[in-house]
Amino acid sequence: MPDHGSKADISFAGRFTASAIAACFAEVCTIPLDTAKVRLQLQKNVAAADAAAPKYRGLLGTAATIAREEGAAALWKGIVPGLHRQCIYGGLRIGLYEPVKSLYVGKDHVGDVPLSKKIAAGFTTGAIAISIANPTDLVKVRLQAEGKLAPGVPRRYAGAMDAYGKIVRQEGFAALWTGLGPNVARNAIINAAELASYDQVKQTILKLPGFKDDVVTHLLSGLGAGFFAVCVGSPVDVVKSRMMGDSAYTSTIDCFVKTLKNDGPLAFYKGFLPNFARLGSWNVIMFLTLEQVQKLFVRKPGS
């Protein structure tokens, strides 16, 4: 039996294009939740020292505070580098998944692909893709992290292209890969969790009576992928956001130790609900879109 139709004859260019389109559409729909997630993760526990309540509370509260203080458009901060990121990272990590998975199991493999091979393929493609796309992730986080400024204080960056230029001029070209370590760890882990769990959940659902390869199956599989990815990847996601948004940390280990010491272990799951709302909805939208768009790229026999 083929692996639930995943071996449709689609070229790498077709898979890359379909993946990039689906990832960009999901990004546009869900980036307000990502902005709220980043603000929550960057918010440190200062209440004890300053006797002040945290500025941001919960997903809706954070979104409302941002919209009230900075305008609703601020919720889409980082959308330009976010789309840059999804064109590169989304296109590569998803577009390479099927070819790499086939490479790991061998061309003569018949039947369902083992879960271990799916995880290995997702880990590999996530690491490769983010190693190339890290500059876009850095700029996206820095634009999202900038909150309301005092009157007369200029913004750090005028936009995405200005941010790329200033980072290179002021910090050096290599600075575009700041946070690469936790970013590779985060994206390799989350990509493996997302793609392997979607693949596995979908494969399992299709073996149940009454289910077929349709929107309902894609919806359930996407939710499962998002939840599992957040559970596994939240700690490295917090470290990544803090390293990219705050230059006070000297290394991944330094960021991890300081976060643990200053904010406690629960800090690694700060923003869990908005992160799940973001990744859960992102995965549902992305996979639903991908399943439809990639049909346009299936090569007909003899073509």
What is the tally of structural domains in the chain? 1
Residue 296 domain-assigned? no
Residue 105 domain-assigned? no
pLDDT, one tens digit per residue, over 216-268 is 999 999 998 888 888 887 887 788 778 777 778 888 889 889 989 988 988 88
Q: How confident is the model at residue 35 (pLDDT cuts 50, 70, 90)?
A: confident
| Cβ atoms within 10 Å of 173's Cβ, excluding its own | 10
Q: What is the pLDDT of residue 49?
A: 46
pTM assigned to the model? 0.78
CB 69 within 8 A of CB 147: yes
Residue 140 domain-assigned? no
Residue 14 domain-assigned? no
Residue 32 domain-assigned? no
Find the domain containing 234 and state its range: 179-270
CB 78 within 8 A of CB 31: yes
CB 43 within 8 A of CB 36: no
Residue 279 domain-assigned? no
pLDDT, one tens digit per residue, over 265-299 is 888 887 677 678 878 888 899 999 999 999 999 87
Residue 1 domain-assigned? no
Better-predicted residue by pLDDT, 35 or 20:
20
Residue 256 domain-assigned? yes
> Above 70 in pLDDT, residue 75?
yes
Q: How confident is the model at residue 118 (pLDDT cuts 50, 70, 90)?
A: very high
| Cβ atoms within 10 Å of 254's Cβ, excluding its own | 13
